[in-house]
Amino acid sequence: MSSQRLVLRCKPCQEGEKHRVLDMELVEAAKGMQFGENVAHGEFFTDAVSDWVGEAMEGHSLIILLYGLPSSGKSYTAFGSPGESRSNPKARGIIVRCMDEFIKTAASKNSIAQIKGSFYHITSRGQVADLLDARKRNLQAKRIDDKFIFPDATKQSLTTTQDVVNLLEKAQLMRNATGVLRSDEATRSLNPLRDYKPHSTHAVFHYTIESCNNNSRVDEVFASQLIIVDLAGSQIKTFHAENSICIDNGLTALHNTLLNLSSSDHEAATESCLSTSLTQLLFPGFFGNSRLIVINTLLMNETEEHTTKKNNKLLQRIV
């Protein structure tokens, strides 16, 4: 069974956005994991993610990386439709749906699970901020047995899907209160075909799971992690209608992270983590029984094509 999966998704167009089309080279690499703009959150989660999420109850860690241009649907896929998650379960993204899957899997296997959630922001300068505690603006990693942990990070116990919804809302309020959304480093735009500054912070949701089977005669506890990363979006800067430049900040982060995580040299990969906060967060859960899903959200303009063949070939090589 492969431990890596590449998924493509187009989100529904917002007002002012033009129709999106899939780049065929990347479609070929995805091997059937392509989802158009009419695919609902639930269908996408079931077909692309849920089978590996359930395996977290058996000790398999999972990392989900979302990469794409700004407004292409990374946050839409991770968090769901803006403002609708509390009142409309169908509008919920993969973060909340993972909790649903944990609950269903635990019930089907007659298991008991302790689940905790953390939420971080990583700036372009490598600072890790705890979005559940405004006092923790610069978390420091601690290395123990070739693994990295953030001992001061907030870990909130989760027992229901609503707990996750509440946690995400709390984190959103924290982002607003601390000015993350208003800062120059975190400017988003609904129209990616105009000048703007890149969103250069990574949003990271971190589940830690400990579970055991009630039917087992052996006191065996499975420990795993599920980490969902909304990578910083790339920047498009349009000088002329026929001459557009794509600056791939998000792709650089994706490339460096995957090269570190997938290194066959465990010791070398560990050392490389010392210089990147994102890889420090992901590294403990990657080696051993682990899975990796890269979700590439697509934003292509049908009248003025912004080809990403170079980016797509890189993704095909490392996924």
* Residue 126, CA atoms < 13 Å, CB-side half-sphere: 9
Cα 144 to Cα 150, 174, 260, 282: the distances in Å are: 11, 30, 18, 14
241, β-bridge pairs: none
80 marked among binding-site residues:
no
Residue 258 dihedral angles phi and psi, to the nearest 5°? -70, -35
Closest CA to 69 of 241, 211, 192: 192
309 marked among binding-site residues:
no
Tokens 């007002």 identify what position? 15
32 marked among binding-site residues:
no
Tokens 């890269």 identify what position? 294
Cα 317 to Cα 230, 260, 300: the distances in Å are: 21, 14, 22
73 marked among binding-site residues:
yes
Q: How far apart, in whole angstroms, are the C-alpha atoms of residue 206 and residue 148?
A: 14
Q: Beta-carbon neighbour count of residue 147 at 10 Å?
A: 15
68 marked among binding-site residues:
yes
76 Ramachandran zone, left/alpha/beta (phi>0; psi -120 to 50): alpha
272 marked among binding-site residues:
no
Tokens 């956005």 identify what position? 17
What dihedral do alpha carbons 37, 40, 42, 47 form, nearest 10°?
Answer: -40
Q: How far apart, in whole angstroms, are the C-alpha atoms of residue 33 and residue 10?
A: 12
75 marked among binding-site residues:
yes
277 marked among binding-site residues:
no
- Please report, in range form, the residues annotated as the binding site for ATP: 68-75
- Please report, in range form, the residues annotated as the binding site: 68-75
